[in-house]
Amino acid sequence: MNLSSLGFFRSLRKDNHQFAVIGLGRFGRAVCSTLHKLGYQVLGTDIDEKRVFDALTDQIVGHALQLDSTEPAALKEAGIFEFDTVIVAIGNYIQESIITTLNMKEGGVPHVVAKASSEVHRKLLLRVGADHVVFPEYEAGCSLARSLTKPSILERFDLDPDHSIVELIVPDEFHGKTISELQLRNRYGLNLLAVSHDGKFQINPYPNQRLERGSAIVVIGCNKDIDRLPI
């Protein structure tokens, strides 16, 4: 996540309980299902009648409509432009994705999230006004590569291309040592944010707390410094 993404999420209304999802493929269905389970009102649309029927049958949306999202009149009639946040989940049909995103912005939708299938696609979506672009396949590929090469890292939050917050399993080399003894800032240039204890994280742990093998810690710092950890 970069700074522009942070600005987008800050602009979202906390009282927004309605979302529209355009495109009910695997990604769109996953978004619908998760939002619906969280208790939000979700309208799903797709040009494919079977996908609309399946979404209703599987109860992953509150409402679902068959429509052509490249037609502004159809979107207006369906009330899509009245939604505060619309997710354009048409990833594999670039022309339809771009036209739909453009229609949303021209229709006055404040927050438009669009799925990209390539870097060029991402740039085009941003050019026509998408407020936030996701690249699921790329992000999943990066995550898999990291987990294969650094299995001790459980979670990673990219602050920018050079800095991250990571949750990792306590290295064997750190077992039994106190936070003060490790001197993470002096040795690695990293700051320790939290330590797990009895299944819960302790934020800003005391310097005399000892780390145990099998528990987890959360650190923040430069990616090059994180890579120097004995993991």
Residues 28, 130 within the same domain: yes
pLDDT, one tens digit per residue, over 192-225 is 999 987 778 889 899 999 999 889 999 999 999 9
Asked, for residue 11, whether it belongs to a domain, the answer is no
Shared domain check, 130 and 186: no
Please indicate, yes or no, if residue 207 is contained in any of the structural domains.
yes
Phi/psi region, residue 201 (left: phi>0; alpha: psi -120 to 50; beta: rest), is beta
Confidence of residue 122 (pLDDT cuts 50, 70, 90): very high
Question: 61: domain range?
Answer: 18-137
Residues 26 and 112 in one domain: yes
Residue 129 and residue 151 share a domain: no
Same domain membership, residue 125 and residue 205: no
Q: Is residue 69 situated within a structural domain?
A: yes
CA distance 186 to 208: 17
Do the domain assignments include residue 4? no
Q: What is the pLDDT of residues 55-86, one digit of tens each?
A: 999 999 999 999 999 999 999 999 999 999 99
| Domain end call among 109, 137, 165 | 137
CATH number at residue 184: 3.30.70.1450
Query: Is 116 inside any structural domain?
Result: yes
**In this structure, are 129 and 64 located in the same domain?**
yes
Say whether pTM exceeds 0.85.
Answer: no
pLDDT digits 0-9 by tens, 167-180:
999 999 999 999 99
Q: Is residue 102 part of a domain?
A: yes
Domain boundary (91, 106, 137) is at 137
**How is the chain classified by DSSP, letter by letter?**
--HHHHHHHHHS-TT--EEEEE--SHHHHHHHHHHHHTT-EEEEEES-HHHHHHHHHTT--SEEEE--TT-HHHHHHHTGGG-SEEEE---S-HHHHHHHHHHHHHTT-SEEEEE-SSHHHHHHHHHTT-SEEE-HHHHHHHHHHHHHH-TTEEEEEEEETTEEEEEEEPPGGGTT-BHHHH-HHHHHS-EEEEEEETTEEEES--TTPBP-TT-EEEEEEEHHHHTTS--
Mark residue 153 as left, alpha or beta (left: phi above 0; alpha: psi -120 to 50; beta: remaining).
beta
Residues 120 and 156 in one domain: no
- 210 and 102, same structural domain? no
Query: Do 48 and 76 reside in the same domain of the chain?
Result: yes
Q: Are residues 33 and 108 in the same domain?
A: yes
User: Does a structural domain hold residue 223?
Assistant: yes
Residue 44: which CATH number? 3.40.50.720
Number of CB atoms found within 10 A of residue 100's CB:
28
The last residue of a domain, from among 137, 166, 181: 137
Q: Identify the pLDDT of residue 139.
A: 80
Do 70 and 32 share a domain, yes or no? yes
Q: What's the CA gap between 96 and 1, in Å, rounded?
A: 26
Domain match, 165 and 188 both: yes
Q: What is the mean pLDDT of residues 87-103?
A: 95
- What's the domain count of the chain? 2
